[in-house]
Structure 1
Amino acid sequence: MQVVPELETGGAEQTTIDVARAVVAAGGRALVASRGGRMETALAAAGGELVRLPMQSKNPLVMLKTAGALRRVIRKQGVSLVHVRSRAPAFPALWAARAEGLPTVATYHGIYLAKGRLKRWYNAVMTRVDRVIANSDYTRAHVLAEHGIAPDKVVAIPRGVDLTRFDPARIAPERIAALRQAWGLADAFDGPLVFLLAGRLTPIKGHETIIAATARLKGEGRDLRVIFAGDDQGRTAFRQSLEAAVRAADLEGVVRLVGHCDDMPAAFLAADVALLPTLVPESFGRAAVEPQVMGRPVIASDHGGTTETVLPGSTGWRAPPGDTAAWASAMAGAIDLGREGLETLGAAARERATRLYSNDAMCAATLAVYEQLVSSREDGK
């Protein structure tokens, strides 16, 4: 049973579904305890089974009640292992798993920072398991430095990409044309380069850096288009602040906020270059790998997991986070390279990304951890 707060959108949620599909393909049952969300349909299509519980709650009384509900699920459904993917739901899930004598796994999907003892204790719940999975070498190093646990307890398994879903050859031109039309772009790729920032609207994702860099490029006489594809997830004030910044910089029609996009494979092909200007380090940065799999070069912040996935001069560019001038320079470099040069860069990016970050490899490594822990627990009985 995997445990995740919600099934709305994001890397942890997608990985949950990917692993559920692999468990089912291997002949097992894949339960997911979660409040649910828009990705429920995808979970069902993968063969996973939703256990609807308030896993997102941080209320101690709710957590205690949820732990009891999870124990009943574990007994009734014959759960053999519990895999937690977030801190708050880890508390009731691990209480229930320990009470039932089950092996436990936690995946560190992010870099949890702590300034005080209480927050460090809260974060450390993700290490109170039999095995910790880090989604990159960068994340593994952080876990070891932050929590001081034994190195053999933490294994790095990079996130994977579904190479069937993210396959340029499988994307019908009509899907690309439909997105470009919805985004207010011409059908033909003979106009300005299109830069795509795919991610939820939140200050840490660096949208403001891109607005400032685009304003600088426009001032230099550069012609380009920038698409922000992502939900505000209730952060209406931040979305409105971005819209105001676009107006203030006279970038209406140049920078466009298009909301959530369900068809990301087509979205990357509808653009020329992907952007990942995060202000805080991404633990892995699937948004930097998926476009490369689709043959699109990436400009990413030069920190965190993207230092492993984006190679300057080979698969894209890296720029210091929040450095408007550096981001404008990198974007100008892409414009100067032109679509033919970007195609060559994108081909190299696809070759490397498909070789290193396949979904099959990620799932196989995760299931191997499951098998080892379950077998060890059974042998010890």
Structure 2
Amino acid sequence: MRFLLLGTNPEHTGAATHFVALAQALAEAGHEVGVIAAAGGLIEQQLADTAVQLHRATFRNALDLRGYATVLRTARQLRPHWLVGNFGKEYWPLIVIGRLLRIPVVLFRHRVPPMRRVSAWLLPRLAHRFFAVSRHARRAYLERGVPPGLVQVLYNPVNMALCRHDPVQRSAILRSLDIFGDPVVLGFCGRMQQGKGIFTLFDAATAAMAQQPQLHCLWLGDGPDAQALRERAAAHPLGNRHHFPGWANDIHPYYSAMSMLAFPSIAPETFGRVSVEAQAAGLPVLASDIGGIPETLQPGVTGVLLPPGDVEAWRTAIVNMCDPSRRLPMGAAAEAFVRERFSTNVIAARFVHLLTAASAIRAKGIHRHRRKRPLPGRV
């Protein structure tokens, strides 16, 4: 099967990471994959040395005619069976081009906030397939009036090879952070803002450190509240056990340095890719029971779901997870769970199955409709 994926967003976002993983998954499964991406953006960089065919374009907005011209030219050259879009500003261009070239269109929606009213009503109906990245997101679209039959769920694929635990990398990263001995490292990866629960996590982790002398906290990321968090750590007697490497374009090596991951959001998340990646690296996850996060783990098996914002509950869970007899079996179960449910080959196969099944149902419906037409000369 041939796919043409449109992703000209140059930024490092969860949708961009999903786009890269899906393109790689389809290519690894033996499909012919073309990608139209922004020059120098994350998508182009990460797909540069793969089997994916790269083309460059920019969409400043949905009316950018130069973007249309590039997509039309590339689609006529590749002749894909499906056009695939991941970013809002490219939804309408794909719908228009798909209609012009008679190529079916797949749209992924990564956000729960509603689109503009007209787009929210028309796009799921005009696209041949409209995918939400979690059941939580799907429910939100249905509550806004999208018919249930028009929204499928397809989770984010995760490249297991990128997340593989590397003890040499672990030692190197810990040394660079002046962490020695046999530490237990609680990791956080993401945007540092209040809605991500970073202050709840700081208070809970610091209280746990008073009970667990081997416990350290690794804060990976940046954001509007990063400075306030660093200042809070600097003012605390145990603040030297909080470590702030800053933003990293590639966070995968840091999973090897962690013993467990915290996902403490107090605002709903559409999904939670970092939770799945951490489990792929063999890490148990402590996560807030909110939004789409519960869909990323098996509570009590690969991690623990906790009340958002409850410092005492988080402190207790962190202390409990410092026990290797609890932490290590969960980490092993986590890796197996992700491999069976979220790995690239599983998601690619699921994606193709949903597309072909939909096409078969559509063709069957058309065939039945034609059979019901009366023959010429008969009433």
* TM-score clears 0.5: yes
Relative to 1, partners in 2 of residues 1:327 and 1:155: Cα closer, same or farther, differing over 3 Å?
Answer: same
Q: What CA distance in whole angstroms lies between the structure 1 residues aligned with 2:155 and 2:362?
A: 26
Q: What CA distance in whole angstroms lies between the structure 1 residues aligned with 2:249 and 2:173?
A: 10
Q: Report the counterpart of residue 362 of structure 1 in structure 2.
A: 347
- TM-score normalised by structure 2 residue count: 0.82
Relative to 1, partners in 2 of residues 1:72 and 1:267: Cα closer, same or farther, differing over 3 Å?
Answer: same
**AA in 2 matched with 1:159:** N
Q: What CA distance in whole angstroms lies between the structure 2 residues aligned with 1:99 and 1:251?
A: 63
Q: What CA distance in whole angstroms lies between the structure 2 residues aligned with 1:178 and 1:154?
A: 45
Q: Report the counterpart of residue 144 of structure 2 in structure 1.
A: 146
- The share of aligned pairs that are identical, in percent, is 25
Q: Report the counterpart of residue 161 of structure 1 in structure 2.
A: 158
Which structure has the larger Rg?
2
Cα deviation, residue 3, structure 1? 2.3
**AA in 2 matched with 1:134:** A
Q: Report the counterpart of residue 23 of structure 2 in structure 1.
A: 20
Match of 1:344 among 296, 306, 329: 329
Three-state SS of the structure 1 residue aligned to 2:269 is coil
**AA in 2 matched with 1:345:** M
**2:181 counterpart of 1:194:** no
- Does structure 2 conserve the Cα–Cα contact (< 8 Å) formed by 1:68 and 1:96? no
Relative to 1, partners in 2 of residues 1:279 and 1:98: Cα closer, same or farther, differing over 3 Å?
Answer: farther
Give deviations 1:280-321, integer Å, cap 9, x for gaps. 322221211222222211001101222123233222211122
After TM superposition, list the pairs within 5 Å mapping 1:193-342 onto structure 2.
Answer: 193-218=184-209, 220-223=210-213, 224-230=215-221, 232=222, 235=223, 237-261=224-248, 264-335=251-322, 338-342=323-327
Three-state SS of the structure 1 residue aligned to 2:328 is helix
Relative to 1, partners in 2 of residues 1:123 and 1:211: Cα closer, same or farther, differing over 3 Å?
Answer: farther
**AA in 1 matched with 2:97:** A
Q: Report the counterpart of residue 179 of structure 1 in structure 2.
A: 173
Q: What CA distance in whole angstroms lies between the structure 1 residues aligned with 2:21 and 2:176?
A: 29
Three-state SS of the structure 2 residue aligned to 1:258 is strand
Cα deviation, residue 5, structure 1? 4.4
Match of 2:135 among 131, 134, 137: 137
- Does structure 1 conserve the Cα–Cα contact (< 8 Å) formed by 2:12 and 2:249? no
Three-state SS of the structure 1 residue aligned to 2:97 is helix
Q: What CA distance in whole angstroms lies between the structure 1 residues aligned with 2:262 and 2:360?
A: 43
**2:85 counterpart of 1:96:** no
Give deviations 1:62-81, integer Å, cap 9, x for gaps. x4553344333333443442
Three-state SS of the structure 2 residue aligned to 1:195 is strand
- Does structure 2 conserve the Cα–Cα contact (< 8 Å) formed by 1:140 and 1:156? yes
**AA in 1 matched with 2:321:** A
Q: Report the counterpart of residue 353 of structure 1 in structure 2.
A: 338
After TM superposition, list the pairs within 5 Å mapping 1:28-47 onto structure 2.
Answer: 28-34=32-38, 36-47=40-51
Cα deviation, residue 376, structure 1? 8.5
Cα deviation, residue 2, structure 1? 1.5
**AA in 1 matched with 2:146:** G
Q: What CA distance in whole angstroms lies between the structure 2 residues aligned with 1:250 and 1:157?
A: 45
RMSD: 3.0
- Does structure 2 conserve the Cα–Cα contact (< 8 Å) formed by 1:30 and 1:47? no
Q: What CA distance in whole angstroms lies between the structure 2 residues aligned with 1:245 and 1:258?
A: 16
Q: What CA distance in whole angstroms lies between the structure 1 residues aligned with 2:86 and 2:123?
A: 8
Q: Which runs of 5+ in 2 are unaligned?
A: 367-379
Match of 2:5 among 2, 23, 32: 2
Relative to 1, partners in 2 of residues 1:119 and 1:29: Cα closer, same or farther, differing over 3 Å?
Answer: closer
Give deviations 1:268-290, integer Å, cap 9, x for gaps. 23111101112332222121122
- Does structure 1 conserve the Cα–Cα contact (< 8 Å) formed by 2:82 and 2:105? yes
Q: What CA distance in whole angstroms lies between the structure 2 residues aligned with 1:279 and 1:75?
A: 46
**AA in 2 matched with 1:113:** P
Q: What CA distance in whole angstroms lies between the structure 2 residues aligned with 1:179 and 1:274?
A: 16
**AA in 2 matched with 1:162:** N
Three-state SS of the structure 1 residue aligned to 2:240 is coil
**2:108 counterpart of 1:107:** yes
**AA in 1 matched with 2:113:** L
